[in-house]
Amino acid sequence: MIYCGIDWAEKTHDVALVDDTGQLVAKRHITDDASGYKILLDLLAEHGDSEANPIPVAIETSRGLLVAVLRTGTRKVFAINPMAAARYRDRHAVSRKKSDPGDALVLANILRTDMHAHRPLPDDCDLARAIAVLARAQQDATWNRQQIANQLRSLLREFYPAALDAVATWANGLCRPEARELLKSAPTPDKAARLTRAQIQAALRRAGRKRGIEAEADRLRDIFRGDYAHQLPLVEEALGKQMLALVVQLEAACTAANDLANAVEETFPQHPDAEVLLSFPGLGVQLGARVLAKIGDDRRRFADARGLKAYAGSSPITRASGKKSSITRRWIKNDRLNHAGYLWAFSAITASPGAKAHYRCRRDDHGDWHAAAQRNLFNRMIGQLYHCLQEHELFDEQTAFPTALAAAA
């Protein structure tokens, strides 16, 4: 049996092959291009790699062209956490010496000794991988949009509080097209105070508003002409230019988030598991796509529901030593799935009577804080999701929360 370890980098990669005894049988330094990938595949074939008996590969990443090339066929690819690889490195040398060829050898030996303890990359279908790309990108775009909006809000507090008062009653606030159009029309408080009713109405129409334009224009005009403190004129002008630069970034971030959201809405319903995911209370298209992106559609990926719960970070972890024992929340988890689970449980409380009763039971009877009760609800619902996906069954309220519904009644 031959095992392969690859220490990857941006431009070059180090490859090491070991046998059952831990003996280094081959090593190679390859480039990150098509010719380098061909050298790697030829090296694996030279040492017995075939469709019937593929050589397993350990690498410290789960993405990129190199991983895509390695995943062709039946070959198992193991994405080893860099932190775990660093702990394995100390088994071979306590001097803490480090080199790229040495790291490749360590990764190969991880498979030789502990391959059973590591999970290979899931064998998801192409559609599931495409949904994962879109859902991850949409989540990143949403976070980026909110980050820029927070920067803009912080800047407006320094010299333009009237703008914050103007958008305070709007959902999504500064991310709305009306807010961005108004800030472009009047980048300083002085210019905003000189806006006429007709100019405000024109700005609202350019942003796509159709109803209530006259009343909204009157409200905005009164706010902009209110009594506020001001910066020095030159300082205010400079801050206005800085604000316009942030508005341009925010507009691009909003466009990217909306375009990716539309792409998710087109792609996600095509997956066979979409029907099951959307049957759960609190899961919409965007949130359901994020959950599917993280758990995939490979039914063999998790041995049972407990494995999925640990991966999502919803199940507690026990630390025991001697007479001391503590049960705490799990810190090592998939952060994106855990974040999606937080939003899922938050929405499910209002969408499902059983979920709400379960949440209240954790708060009132067990004394959990809000986050702990919500995490417990997510832990229960993701276990139900595992069962429904395995059996391809839709969510049923009576089956999911029979005791909670009876208590609520």
pLDDT digits (tens, 9 = 90+) for 44-64: 999 988 988 999 999 999 989
95, pLDDT greater than 60:
yes
Count of CB atoms situated within 10 Å of the CB of 250:
23
The bridge status of strand 3-8 relative to strand 77-79 is unpaired
- 87: Cβ–Cβ under 8 A, 6 or more apart, which residues? none
pLDDT given at position 226? 92
Kindly indicate the confidence band of residue 317, based on its pLDDT and cuts at 50, 70 and 90. confident
Domain map of the chain by residue range? Answer: 3-117, 130-266, 275-408
Q: Which amino acid is at 38?
A: K
DSSP string, 316-373: -EEEEETTEEEEE---SS-HHHHHHHHHHHHHHHHH-HHHHHHHHHHHHTS---HHHH
Please report how many Cα atoms fall inside a 13 Å half-sphere around the Cα of residue 268, on the Cβ side: 29
CA 33, 35, 37, 39 torsion-angle sign: negative
8 A C-beta contact, residue 344 and residue 336:
no
Task: Give the DSSP H/E element, type plus range, for residue 31.
Answer: strand 24-31
Q: Which amino acid is at 153?
A: R
More confident residue, 97 or 404: 97
pLDDT given at position 252? 96
CB burial of 90-123 (b: ≥16 within 10 Å; e: otherwise) equals eeeeeeeeeeebbbbbbbbbbbbeeeeebebbbe
Kindly indicate the confidence band of residue 409, based on its pLDDT and cuts at 50, 70 and 90. low
404, pLDDT greater than 70:
no
Measured distance CA(207)–CA(219) in Å, rounded: 17
Decide which of 3.40.980.10, 3.30.420.40, 3.30.450.40, 3.40.50.1370 is the CATH code for 3-117: 3.30.420.40
Measured distance CA(260)–CA(133) in Å, rounded: 10
Look over the chain and give the mean of its residue pLDDT values, rounded to a whole number. Answer: 92
Q: Any idea which residue has 């949409």 for tokens?
A: 138
pLDDT digits (tens, 9 = 90+) for 184-223: 999 999 999 999 999 999 999 999 999 999 999 999 999 9
Estimate the crossing angle of helix 126-159 against helix 285-295, to 10 degrees. Answer: 120
8 A C-beta contact, residue 22 and residue 106:
no
pLDDT digits (tens, 9 = 90+) for 325-369: 888 888 888 999 999 999 999 999 999 999 999 999 999 999 999
Q: Which long-range contacts (CB under 8 A, 24 or more apart) does 62-68 make?
A: 62/121, 64/8, 65/32, 65/37, 66/6, 66/8, 66/13, 66/32, 66/37, 67/121
Q: pTM for the full model?
A: 0.86
Kindly indicate the confidence band of residue 405, based on its pLDDT and cuts at 50, 70 and 90. low
Kindly indicate the confidence band of residue 90, based on its pLDDT and cuts at 50, 70 and 90. confident
